[in-house]
Amino acid sequence: MFHKGKLLVFWVSALLVLYGITAAFVAKDEAYKPLGVFMDALKKIKDDYVEAPDMNKVQEGAMRGLIDALDPYSSFLTTEQAAAIEKRKASGNAGVGLVVSKRVDVMYVVSQTSNGPAESAGMRAGDYVVGIDDKSTDDMSIMEASSLLRGTPGSKVKITVFRGSRPKPFEFDLVRAADPGAQVTFKMLNGNVGLLDVSSLENADLDQMRAKLKTLISAGAQKIILDLRDCADGTPADGAALANLFLKSGVIYYSQNRDGQKVQEVTASPDKFVSDLPMVVLINGSTAGPAEITAGALKDNKRAEVVGERSFGVGSAQKKIALKSGAVLYLSVAKFYTPGGQMIENDETPRQTGIKPSIESPDEDKLQALMVESYYDDQNSNNVEKYRQLRDKINQMQLDKALEALSKPQAPAKKAA
């Protein structure tokens, strides 16, 4: 009887192991089915294409297509492309004052440096960059495009742009200039309102931002407007540091991997806090990256009203992976979330990407009317001045709405720490 029991246990165990192995092979087979299709297509190209194909180029093209299907910030660089980027870095890091991204697989101007080479020449946020120095951007990664825009100070770069109001692409010949670094200005407005304008967080100097905020408070500011419009560069740490000036405690942002696990959580540090005066944050469609971390943190912690337009939506972390061939892969491995759980960069649902203002200004109908006006003004000429007047008009509307929000009765605020 004992012998029969052992035999039964043996056969049941064997069947379970066999089932497990079979399931593993089936799962593996399912996972690698697309690879089988890929290999079959490569073989057909090699054997049947009308000319003898360069299989290295075919495979590199396939890799680019594979990565492009993921998100705008994952990149595949061939050995030559990676080497060229490093060479350009060594020659100089002057730029033209542009932050670019991709929308609908087309290179897109997110924002521009105020009075930088691109803005001064008449380029605009929303322009589509279709060529850089006569190289098409069709299959170009954001990383490669950003690298091509940079170089030795004083050197020239030609940018070919498509704009909806113009019948065909046109060109800008720009001269690269040294980056001005983080741009922070401040002034007092009527009603004891202090305006802190942060238009760039590139190479941010936190001590300078803290000092300017304290200067506003010393000058009598009882309310603060933090202007993050057109601010799209810098690092996540820069955005968190800026938010911390106005937050004594709480989550600023966190990152999450594909399994829903938190990779990193950044919280406010009490010793970096400066003020909890009533405040409003201004954002627009050219607010991106670190500035979105700041706006999202202040909004979700109910520290500030956010006024303006929905921000652009840049919020992911990339990992650099060196491949055996010498090529380099930059793969997005985590997404950034606001304290309330909103994904800042939503590639699957673009209409939900970015930070939504708590007070929209201008509303969609008004903005559409202003854009139509700009469209007809721009059909036959660049009209730099008319476009600036339009942007100034929108900026003033948003500032007025921010001042209106601050004028409403609020709970008593404490002075600076």
Domain range list for the chain: 2-68, 75-175, 183-316+333-407
Tokens of 410: 């609020």
Q: What is the pLDDT of residue 6?
A: 43
Residue of higher predicted confidence among 34 and 340: 340
Residue 188 exposed, middle or buried by CB count within 10 Å (0-12, 13-18, 19+)? middle
Pair 387, 124: CB distance under 8 Å: yes
203-245 per-position pLDDT tens digit: 888 888 999 999 999 999 999 999 999 999 999 999 999 999 9
CATH number (3.30.930.10, 2.40.50.100, 2.30.42.10, 3.40.50.1100) of 75-175 reads 2.30.42.10
**Beta-carbon count within 10 A of 250 CB:** 15
How far apart are alpha carbons 216 and 194 in whole angstroms? 6
pLDDT bin (cut points 50, 70, 90) of residue 280 is very high
pLDDT bin (cut points 50, 70, 90) of residue 345 is very high
237-260 per-position pLDDT tens digit: 999 999 999 999 999 999 998 888
List, in order, residues 6 or more apart from 7 with CB less than 8 Å away: none
Distance of CA 283 to the CA centre of its chain: 14
183-316+333-407 has CATH 1.10.10.60 classification: no
pLDDT bin (cut points 50, 70, 90) of residue 60 is confident
